[in-house]
Structure 1
Amino acid sequence: MIGSRVKYRHLQTFVEVARQGSVVKAADHLNISQPAVTKTIRELEEVLGVVLFEREGRGIRITRPGEVFLRHAAASLTALRQGIDSVSQELLDNVPPVRIGALPTVSTRIMPRAMALFLEEQTRSRIKIVTGENSVLLEQLRMGELDLVVGRLAAPEKMTGFSFEHLYSEKVLFVVRAGHPLLAGGSVFNGLGDYPVLMPTRGSIIRPFVEQFLIANGVAALPTQVETVSDAFGRAFVRSSDAIWIISSGVVAGDIADGVLAALPIDTSETKGPVGLTLRTDAPPSLPLSILMQTIRQAASETMIAG
């Protein structure tokens, strides 16, 4: 039987190559040699009788049969990991971990309060919270590496297999240090090109909103740009320079309230986008995850009322 010939290493290697889009990167992540990865993929293709990857320029791309198999392979690995977690945690008199992906704005503004509320429930669950770009977090969710993503609503073509629950909407701000020259008055858009601008990276969910907004307001290009999704770097750099930071409002709400940073007088309401909970439709939430989702809802509601 074909099923008995497909091993765990086949599935693990295949899913990692698909996730990385590269044999070399997959080999590095799995800590095995590149020839070993190639051999494993060829073995799997021979068992299945289909080609899973094709060369595309210097890289590779997954084939249509590969995409079909990926859904099942990723689900199988997720189920196996959950089974291992369930058994090992039961032996430790504990429950499986809850793995959350959150945008920097959510990690700063919502998750601290949500976690405080969750810990009050005394579920004894282990929680793992990771922060990153929306697209990266959604891919990890699709692969079963995360149980929930709290972030912006992605484009429709990126939401296949996902469900989204709206929590609140958030806009982008142009933020500077207190006392910045552009706060003194005058045309802000005419002055943007005179200073370094911290832009969201091209893979970030808010980048298209920012680019459209700038073009609509007559800013075709910015001479000095630094792309970053690091809120720690952005905060430190803007506080110590005349740079302008284009960032989601939630990331800097506390800094603005404290008077350390200030938003430039620009109406950015058209950059508003929905923020909420994204789940896989084929993976019902566990009880601990359901409780955490409820505390996230409560924290978001409290934050919006306070804001």
Structure 2
Amino acid sequence: MIDARIKFRHIQTFVEIARQKSVVRAAAILRVSQPAVTKTVRELEDVLGVTLFERDGRGIRLSRSGEIFLKHAGATMTALRQAVDSVSPDAARIGTPVRIGALPTVSVSIMPEAMASFLLENTGSTVKIVTGENAVLLEQLRVGDLDLVVGRLATPDKMTGFFFEHLYSEKVRFVVRAGHPLLTESTSIFERLHEFPVLTPTRNSVIGPVVDQFLLAHGVAPLPTRIETVSDAFGRAFLRTSNAIWIISEGVVVADIADGVLAVLPLDTTDTSGPVGLTMRADTQPSLPLSLLMQAIRETAATLSASRN
């Protein structure tokens, strides 16, 4: 039986602090005072008999108990939001909103065509598409800010409470501008990487560790000019005006390569191949509009995968 002392404000406050990782920011968003937020969390901890947050330098982080509680508290907030949407006159008029998180590779290669197909369904739903790093998107999915994340499969410790549906596999590529000197060079490309600026994924991105492991496996020493970025706009712009090398998921640059603007360095990157798919909370059911968009994504991914094989 649920303890009657636990109120909605306790769950809402806890989830917001977990989302913001800050009592001050949570208080601002909830439009209550900081002492009121602190008091609410302490009341919840007293009822549960556990500590939900721990000090982390000048900030805070979830305790182990807090991580476990968030899994269920986030599901509660998501279920409540869906319940409100199901009977809301506004939702009935404009359609249930759909909120998608997509990695940059998916935003470029999958989402445009999938969205075009989805719009033909005339659901009237407002669609929100957020692009960012995998860890950030999964956190937003966990607390109910997103309904679906489309991207690479995360590590097992990040997938607790989630369900993953595989769509296709994707490699990492080393790309350069057309006419780059390494395209006609007969010596080992790995031996010459240190001569150029190298753009890599951030170390906490989903393919960051994959890239680092690949470079180590091929004896590449630490790169003297390494720029970490997840911005595809910056990558394209920087390559146009420099001899930089961009290590990136092939889906991000497939159109640029087809247009002849960028070129792939002749390296075997089979070892970097990883699964791309749909990640959802395991404890929620998709709305009809979300189901329709998911099917559009599946069909677009199948067509893309077939064209690459």
**TM-score if structure 2 supplies the norm length?**
0.91
Could you tell me how far apart the structure 2 residues matched to 1:33 and 1:219 are? 52
Question: Contact 1:171 / 1:248 at 8 angstroms: preserved in 2?
Answer: yes
One-letter identity of the residue aligned with 1:229 = V
Could you tell me how far apart the structure 2 residues matched to 1:26 and 1:102 are? 25
Residue by residue over 1:204-258, the C-alpha shift from the partner in whole angstroms, topping out at 9 and shown as x without a partner, is 0001110011011111200011111111111111111111111000000000100
Question: Contact 2:14 / 2:41 at 8 angstroms: preserved in 1?
Answer: yes
Q: 1:89 to 1:275 in 2, by over 3 A?
A: farther
Identity of aligned residues (%): 69
Residue by residue over 1:102-149, the C-alpha shift from the partner in whole angstroms, topping out at 9 and shown as x without a partner, is 111111001111111111122222211111111111111111111111
Could you tell me how far apart the structure 2 residues matched to 1:34 and 1:90 are? 33
How far apart are 1:51 and its partner, in Å? 2.4
Could you tell me how far apart the structure 2 residues matched to 1:30 and 1:305 are? 47
Instruction: Name the residue aligned to 1:200.
Output: 201
One-letter identity of the residue aligned with 1:167 = L
One-letter identity of the residue aligned with 1:208 = P
Q: 1:153 to 1:270 in 2, by over 3 A?
A: same
Moved more, 238-247 or 76-85: 76-85
Q: 1:27 to 1:121 in 2, by over 3 A?
A: same
Question: Contact 1:138 / 1:149 at 8 angstroms: preserved in 2?
Answer: yes
Instruction: Please give the residue correspondences for 1:153-232 in structure 2 after superposition, counting only pairs within 5 Å.
Output: 153-185=153-185, 186-232=187-233
The alignment's C-alpha RMSD in Å is: 2.1
Q: 1:223 to 1:35 in 2, by over 3 A?
A: farther
Q: 1:189 to 1:89 in 2, by over 3 A?
A: farther
Could you tell me how far apart the structure 1 residues matched to 2:53 and 2:111 are? 39
Question: Contact 1:135 / 1:204 at 8 angstroms: preserved in 2?
Answer: yes
Question: Contact 1:2 / 1:48 at 8 angstroms: preserved in 2?
Answer: no
Question: Contact 2:96 / 2:287 at 8 angstroms: preserved in 1?
Answer: no
**TM-score if structure 1 supplies the norm length?**
0.92
How far apart are 1:28 and its partner, in Å? 5.4
Q: 1:147 to 1:91 in 2, by over 3 A?
A: closer
Instruction: Name the residue aligned to 2:10.
Output: 10
How far apart are 1:31 and its partner, in Å? 5.8
Q: Secondary structure at the match of 2:289?
A: helix
Residue by residue over 1:135-166, the C-alpha shift from the partner in whole angstroms, topping out at 9 and shown as x without a partner, is 11111111111111111011122212111111
Could you tell me how far apart the structure 2 residues matched to 1:231 and 1:89 are? 40
Instruction: Name the residue aligned to 1:45.
Output: 45
How far apart are 1:29 and its partner, in Å? 5.1
Instruction: Name the residue aligned to 1:296.
Output: 297
Q: Secondary structure at the match of 1:284?
A: coil
| Count of aligned positions | 307
Could you tell me how far apart the structure 1 residues matched to 2:89 and 2:239 are? 44
Residue by residue over 1:170-211, the C-alpha shift from the partner in whole angstroms, topping out at 9 and shown as x without a partner, is 000111111111112122111111111111011100011100
Could you tell me how far apart the structure 1 residues matched to 2:207 and 2:67 are? 28
Instruction: Name the residue aligned to 2:22.
Output: 22
Could you tell me how far apart the structure 1 residues matched to 2:65 and 2:216 are? 41
Instruction: Name the residue aligned to 2:75.
Output: 75
Moved more, 286-295 or 6-15: 6-15
Instruction: Name the residue aligned to 1:243.
Output: 244
Could you tell me how far apart the structure 1 residues matched to 2:179 and 2:276 are? 31
1:274 aligns with 2:275: yes
* Structure 2 stretches lacking a partner, 5+ long: none
Could you tell me how far apart the structure 2 residues matched to 1:168 and 1:237 are? 29
How far apart are 1:71 and its partner, in Å? 2.5
Q: Secondary structure at the match of 1:96?
A: coil
One-letter identity of the residue aligned with 2:70 = L
How far apart are 1:21 and its partner, in Å? 3.3
